[in-house]
Chains A and B, each alone.
Chain A
């Protein structure tokens, strides 16, 4: 049998099961309406929960991006001091962060999609619940218990199908949100470790560093290192152009007197 038919039959069977509980059909109208209102509240809570998760991801993306920018700065500083090893370490960490940012960007898009879907589901359900309420009052006012059963069945089957659909949408959104929350904890930890703490700790390499190294793509690092070198050393003299100025291009201007401080101490506290 076709997939479409099979899914519809399963839905209908569940709706009928719900109907069988009815004793006085008109009394069950109010009971059903009450359940619909509860479901509406549940889907609205679902929208709020997904929005909360989305905002958390946004916050993390911002934090990672500012850390990433800080690491670029540090790499530039390190390179201008002739500390290529330090620059490489900073860029390696940055590359690891970028992997997380990409991951978060995908999660963010997914959460946004869920939020939109649930918002629309909530609007549809609200319209149906209101229609049901009107129909319920008509049935109660107009029909005897015997006649009412048919009318109720008609109204019920449409709304219980919607309830099943919305219930499933909430469940799926919850599942996705939970998966992301588990990973969000790991990202928070990563953010808390901050950028390069100080140059001396670099050679030892903590767990995070090793992990980042594994995650980072070596070619990214090399490419960016090369680009940075290009930016900090004077451009090569164009051989075709006459170069009358005998200025020694090789000597690089020293970068101020101040010692390079890879990370300000206060930054860690800000992030926690």
Chain B
């Protein structure tokens, strides 16, 4: 499957790795709910590192859409909340 890190690019990730990424994703989500900026940043970094580690960058000229999309590495908690609200940061 294809995972996009916003502001960074797309990665091809083997399905077998998904469980591991889901665990990291849940940890990020928990910190979004808790509203803890510092912990959120640490968990987001772990999740993005996880994607970069198990994923292979997709060629620039690829026109495939992503199965999963992740916030940019420097996104704040507030920005991610806005992203998750439909009419938030994502231009449409």
Asked if A83 is an interface residue, CB under 8 A from chain B, the answer is no
> Does B7 lie within 8 Å of A161, measured CB to CB?
no
Inter-chain CA distance A15–B92, complex, in Å, is: 7
Q: Let me know if A168 and B25 touch, CB within 8 A.
A: no
One digit per residue, 1 when the CB lies within 8 angstroms of any chain A CB and 0 when it does not, for chain B 62-91 equals 111111111110100000100110100111
Q: Does A252 contact B (CB under 8 A)?
A: no
Q: Establish whether residues B4 and A3, one from each chain, have CB atoms under 8 Å apart when the complex forms.
A: no
Does the CB pair A172–B72 fall under 8 Å? Answer: yes
Q: Are A7 and B3 in contact (CB under 8 A)?
A: no
Q: A138 near B: Cβ within 8 Å? A: no
Q: What is the interface of chain B mostly: helix, strand, loop, or mixed?
A: loop
Contact partners of A140 in chain B: CB under 8 A: none
Contact status A135-B63, CB under 8 Å: yes
| A164-B62 in contact (CB<8A) | no
Q: Count the A residues whose beta carbon is within 8 Å of the partner chain — how many?
A: 41
On whether A121 and B7 interact (CB within 8 A), knowing A4-B69, A7-B83, A10-B90, the answer reads yes
Residues of chain A with a CB closer than 8 A to B62's CB: 128, 131, 158
User: In the complex, A158→B91 CA distance in Å?
Assistant: 15
- Binary CB contact string for chain A from 98 to 136 against chain B (1 if under 8 A, 0 otherwise): 000000000000000100010011011011101110010
Closest A residue to B3 using CB positions: A4
**List of A residues within 8 angstroms of B64 by Cβ:** 158
Bound form: Cα–Cα A132–B61 in Å: 8
Give the one of A12, A126, A165 with max B CB within 10 A: A165
Decide: A8 near B67, CB < 8 A? Known: A3-B32, A124-B60, A128-B61. yes
Taking a contact as CB atoms under 8 Å apart, the answer to whether A171 and B65 are in contact is no
Contact A8–B68 (Cβ < 8 Å): yes
Q: How far is the CB of B10 from chain A (nearest CB, A)?
A: 9
- Contact present for A14 and B92 (CB under 8 Å): yes
- A28 vs B69: C-alpha distance when bound (angstroms): 26
- B-contacting residues of A (Cβ < 8 Å)? 2-8, 10-15, 17-18, 113, 117, 120-121, 123-124, 126-128, 130-132, 135, 154-155, 157-159, 161, 164-165, 167-169, 171-172
User: What are the 9 closest A-B residue pairs judged by CB atoms, nearest first?
Assistant: A14-B92, A127-B60, A158-B63, A157-B65, A131-B61, A167-B91, A4-B68, A127-B61, A8-B69
